[in-house]
Structures are given as structure tokens and as C-alpha cells.
Amino acid sequence: MATDQVSQIGDAANRMRISAIDMTCASKSGHPSSSASAAEIVATLFFGEMRYSVAEPKHPGADRFILSKGHACPILYAAWEEAGLLTREQTLTLRKIDSDIEGHPTPRLNFIDVATGSLGQGLGYAAGMAYVGKYVDKASYRVYTLLGDGESSEGAVWEAAAFSSHYKLDNLVAIVDVNRLGQSEAAPLGHNVEIFADRFRAFGFHSIVVDGHDVSALLKAFAEAKTVKDKPTAIICKTFKGKGIKDVEDQDNWHGKPMVADSVKEIESVIRDRIKGDKPKWNIPSVVTDVKESKLDLGNIKMSSPPSYKLGDKIATRQAYGTALTKLADTTKQILAFDADTKNSTFSIEVMKKHPEQFVECFIAEQNMVSAAIGAGCRDRTIPFCSTFAAFFTRAADQIRMGAISFANVKLCGSHAGISIGEDGPSQMALEDLALFRSVPNSVVFYPSDGTSAERAVELAANIRGIVFIRTGRPALPVLYEPNEHFQVGKAKVLKNTLDGKGKGVVLIGCGVTLYEALKAHDELNSAGIKSAVIDLFTVKPIDTNTILETARAVGSNPQIITIEDHYQAGGIGEAVASAVSSSNDNIRVHSICVKDIPRSGPPDALLDMFGISAKHIIAKAKSIL
């Protein structure tokens, strides 16, 4: 029986090899050699280890599998073909423009939770899923991820490894396909599988070394992993790139190349000769039933109480973030707050204090925080919010990029934006975060200016499916809005407007600290006989083009706008506004006031002056253009 199983899985691996070769021949590109090294590993997982549902791949009780080495997706598609979800006809559409069977896996396919293809991110996703499995769902589904040896050079792998052992994720198995060869040369550790085992052991894993082409060894390793308590397991597999492919196995220069057409027949014949029996009717273990359904009530998620600030009270938007998120956690158990050892600065500590089970400390490892949060949000198990200094989200820029391709539902709050943080200096000042988050496709970017609007931004964020960024600031600033003020995604607020249509006026657009500078400037300009309107954008993306255009038209003919931002020029508010009005026929000129050079340590107000974004610079600019 066991022998039968081993033999059947071995046969499946070889059928999958052939399928991977066929589909990459059909697409004339792709990664058959990287697929071949993983054939036995993936076959053993799919036909000897994992519990899942072919009919419902995203069943909440199903074991999770993440192919971290995404370029080897032909072998994954072949596994689903072997399992009966995909037909051969479908897998042969690999990389075609009208096929969801893409060159690297994306969740356009119903059996993919997260996009991979930028290397080293799978273990972080898996860690987030395993965290949710163990601590939120408290269920017995297990999480498996397959890494390449080359991608294990990515630091994100080791951030995820440290997180996984810290949280004793014994429901997590990382498998490393040590096939020795990278894209352009041998990977740095070659076939020294013991070094991989040592590294994972030092990072708190139970490590097992096996021959990755030996199905019975793999079955035994997976069984052993299930007996390990309070530790994740790493199975280090010695494999050969192109295994089983004649004249390709263990050879250089076969990364990302389909087989030469002439050779395919012989190659496949050799593989076929190794297949011992007919394809069986697979008896895949049923999914576990100790998981509850999780339905996100998007559109109806509310804070336990509305904002309660009084006009003029001083409150930092970062503090309002912590308050609002805690009030969301009050009503919605799916809210999960992640932070990277900045919780006392971002105020996510408030969630930890009141709802410790809804808080995840990720320590100083922002890449993994974002990947784990994306993983935690899969299959609608949770609504993850991540917070750290906005500057440090640049550390996770690639994870955020991949989050968009994953259609991830994750909210990111970056505090300490801009030079207004003061004395800590430029390394802590986010001045490119709006560019980063605006360039995420389909993202929403909130930049609330006071406590009331910040709380509403957090509430709105929870109700949007997708990637949402909330930019918060360090300084405590006066509350501008009554508690019952209504905020919407993509709707700006006109706070002041003395424009009279006579042309001698200007529209001032700011957010956060610069909104207050604009309000100051408005008063002084008014005294000097210059009319102005002040717009609080609230949402930087999607930008409220209508309100901007309407307000600009109120200036009169040839209107002028001044944008003021605590951010560099590129990709910031000035460019967002310029590009929003650039195709209108109103001859609107846009003048940008922004941070133009690398800032330095100093008191916030002095920095606003020194780097040209304070009220006096707005006034000077307005006077110079009118």
C-alpha cells in the first residue's frame, strides 16, 4: 500500500514533468527546468500530504500551499491538472494573453491565494496564514510553502523565518528546493544542504534534510513535521534542476528556457518510460472542518463610537489612527493590527492594550510585516492593518507592489510623514511615500489632516477591498471637523473660500501640516486683499478632480492653484493635482510648493520655513503670481 502510494506519486511527478515541458513548449517560454526539480516535492504535497478540495480550492478548511519560487508555476499548474481541476487544454494556454494561467502565479486563478514571482516572499505570506490558522482561526489546517535555494538569499526569507519561530508556528512547513543552480550561475551555497538546515535551525525551525526526488523520504519528512510542536519545520531537499530531463538535468544555462522542439519527443519518452502504472483516481484527504466561515461585511464596518474631538483640540493624526483602529477592533473581530516595533509611536499600541488577540508584533522587519499581513488577509480570514513610520514602508515597496498583483486586501498606515517630525532627521522622514502608494494600481491613499478625518479615514479603509494607505503625522494639530462631519473616499473639503470670480485669487491645496499653513496663508492673503480658497484633499488618490476644477473656476478666468506638501515633488500632491487638471480647458496653472532638498534635524516649524513649505512661502508665491 505504502509502496503503491510512493510509486503512484512518483508517476504523478513524471506526468507533471511532461505537462510542464509541454506547456512551456507551447508558450515558447517559461521555466521547465525549475519545475522539474520540484516535481516530486509538489506531487508528494498534492497527492500524499495536503488536505484540500479540488471543487473548492479556496475552502477555508483547506491546507494552504504557496509556491514562493513562482517561476516554477508550470509544475503547480500540472499538479492541478493531475488533480483534475485543470484540463490539459487549459494548461497548454500558459502565458497566452487570454489565459489566467500566467507566467507567474496570480490570484486570477481560483487556486492561488497570493501572487509570487518576485522572489523570497512566499514564506512571509505563509507565516501570515499560519499565524491566522493558529491564533485567529485556531484551526488545524496547515500551511506549506516551497522556496528555491537561490531565493533564500533574500533577507525577507529570514525575516519570515524569525517571525515563524517566534510565534511557534508548528502548522507551517517551509520546503527548500535546493537545485543548486540560479539564473545566471550556481546559487551561492551549491548543494550544501546542511548549511540551509543550519540556517533554518538557527532561526528556530526544526530542520530535516532529504533527497527531494525521493517520494518516500518526502512523505516521511512531512509526517515528521506534524509531530513537531511549537516550532515550524524546514524540509531541505537536495534536488537537481531539470531532473529527469535528458541533457538538461544539472546543466548550466537552462534557466527559463523551454526545451528545444526537436528534443522533446525523446525527452518525454525517457520520462514516460519511468512511469510504472496508470493514473489513479486520487483520493485526496478532505478539508478540515474546524474553521468557521469568515464573511467580511464591507460597507458596514463601523467604529464602536464616532470621533469625539472638539474643534480646536490638539491631536496628532497618528494618535487618531490608534483610537479608530481600536474602535474598529471593538466591533469587528476580523481586524488585525500589525506593527514593526513602533506601536508606541504609531499608536497601534492602543489595539494591543484593549484587544491583545487582535495585535501582532512583527518586530523590526517591515518586509515580513507586509507579507504576513497580506497572507493574513487571504480567503477573507482577517482585515489586516499594518503600521510603522511611513518612511519605513519603502522597505516593503516590493511586497506592496506584489500585494497589488495579489489583489491583496491590506491597509497600511504610515506615521511620522514629512519634515514636520523634526529633530530625528531625514532618515525618519517620509517624503516619497505618496509616490510609492499612488503608484500602486487601484490603491486608495488617504491623507487626513485632523483627528476627526483621520478616524474616518481608518473606518473607510476597513470597508474598502484592496490596498489602502493612510498617511499620518507626528505633530498634534487642531481639530478642524465636527464629529458628525461626513467623509467619503475621493471627496475633498473646501475649508475656506473667499473667491469672487474676479481673477485676483488663488486656490490653496494642502494636507496634514501644510493644510494648516495654507489656512494661515489664507487669512494673511485676505488681509492683503488677495482672495483664496483652501482645499483639504483628504483623499490623494482617487483625487477629487471635480472639486478642484470647480473651486479653480471660482477664481475667474485663467485660475491658479498652489499646492503645498510635506513631500518631495515627484509623485506627490502637486503632480497629482497638475495631472488631474492638465487636460482641462480652463487654463489652470498649478504651482507646486514642496520639499526640494534633503532635509536635516531641527524643530518642525523651523524646518517648514527652511525647506520652503510654511505659510510665508505660500504667501510669497501667491503674491508673485498674481
Tell me the backbone φ, ψ of residue 596, rounded to 5 degrees.
-110, -15
Distance separating alpha carbons of residues 188 and 170, to the nearest angstrom: 29
Please identify, using beta-carbon distances, which residue of 202 and 260 lies nearer to a copy of itself.
202
Q: How far is the CB of 101 from a copy of itself (least distance, A)?
A: 8
Using the minimum distance from each CB to a copy of itself, give the nearer residue, 115 or 613: 115
**8 Å CB contact between 508 and 518:** yes
- Collapsed DSSP state (helix, strand, coil) of residue 247: coil
* Grid cell at residue 72: 516554477
Closer CB to a copy of itself, 291 or 336, in the complex: 336
Amino acid code (one letter) for 17: R
Grid coordinates representing 593 are: 510648493
Q: Which is nearer to a copy of itself, 62 or 157 (CB)?
A: 157
Quote the least distance from Cβ 250 to a copy of itself, whole Å: 18
Measured between alpha carbons, how far is 361 from 414 in angstroms, rounded to an integer? 16
Q: Is the dihedral of CA 86, 87, 92, 96 positive or negative?
A: negative
Q: Can you state the percent helix, strand and coil of the chain, rounding each to 5?
A: 40, 15, 40
Bond from prior residue into 559 cis (ω within 30 degrees of 0): no
And the C-alpha cell for 544? 477629487
Phi-psi region of 407 (alpha: psi -120 to 50; beta: other; left: phi over 0): left
In angstroms, the CA 44 to CA 214 distance is: 10
Instruction: Exactly one of 49, 366, 455, 575 is catalytic; name it.
Output: 366
Please state the three-class secondary structure of 335-354 as a single string. Answer: EEEEECCCHHHHCCHHHHHH
Of 41, 16, 564, 102, the C-alpha closest to 275 is: 16
Nearer to a copy of itself by C-beta: 398 or 524? 398
Q: Closer CB to a copy of itself, residue 109 or residue 210?
A: 109
Ramachandran category for residue 442: left, alpha or beta (phi over 0 → left; psi -120 to 50 → alpha):
left
* Catalytic site includes residue 575: no
- Residues annotated as catalytic are 366
